[in-house]
Amino acid sequence: MLQLNSLVKAIQSLEVALTRWEATPTDQEIRDSVVQRFEYTYELCHKMMRRQLQEMSASPTEVVALDYKSLIREGAKFKLIARPDAWFAYRRQRNLTSHTYDESVAEQVAKNAIEFLEDARQLLLALQKHE
């Protein structure tokens, strides 16, 4: 059984930052907070999805060996996520923000975090159904 408390807190943290950023969209510090919270919430989603697939699998070691795209496809197959293409895009965004800092990239990722938040919530609901 997965411990989802950290994911719940990460999603709530991202939601708080997004709410503040929507109220003050020119505040770069809040935007950067949104980006950072997107990054760690995304990472937790990825880890929890892998762990849930391991629990559901007849061969958990095969799940450990899955590359990212295969993991996302399996997550969709088992109805943990609905939009694998969006998750591929989130991965690309996370890779961009975690390796370099670019003002325009940060702005775009923060805007996309709104959509990500909904997908993260849906994943959390799917994971909670398996508790």
Catalytic residue among 31, 50, 51, 94: 94
Cβ-proximal residues to 94 (8 Å cutoff; 6+ apart), any chain:
38, 39, 42, 43
**Residue-range definition of the domain harbouring residue 115:** 5-129
Q: What is the CATH number of the domain that holds 43?
A: 1.20.120.330
* String of DSSP letters for 23-46: HSTT-HHHHHHHHHHHHHHHHHHH
Q: How many CB atoms lie within 10 A of CB 32?
A: 18
99 is catalytic: yes
Encode pLDDT of 80-98 as tens digits. 999 999 999 999 999 888 7
> Whole-prediction pTM value?
0.93
Min mean pLDDT across 63-72, 82-91, 96-105, 109-118 is at: 96-105
Domain count, the chain: 1
Catalytic residue among 46, 99, 121, 130: 99
Q: Which two tokens stand for residue 128?
A: 């909670």
Amino acid at 103: E
Angle between helices 103-129 and 28-56 (to 10 degrees): 30
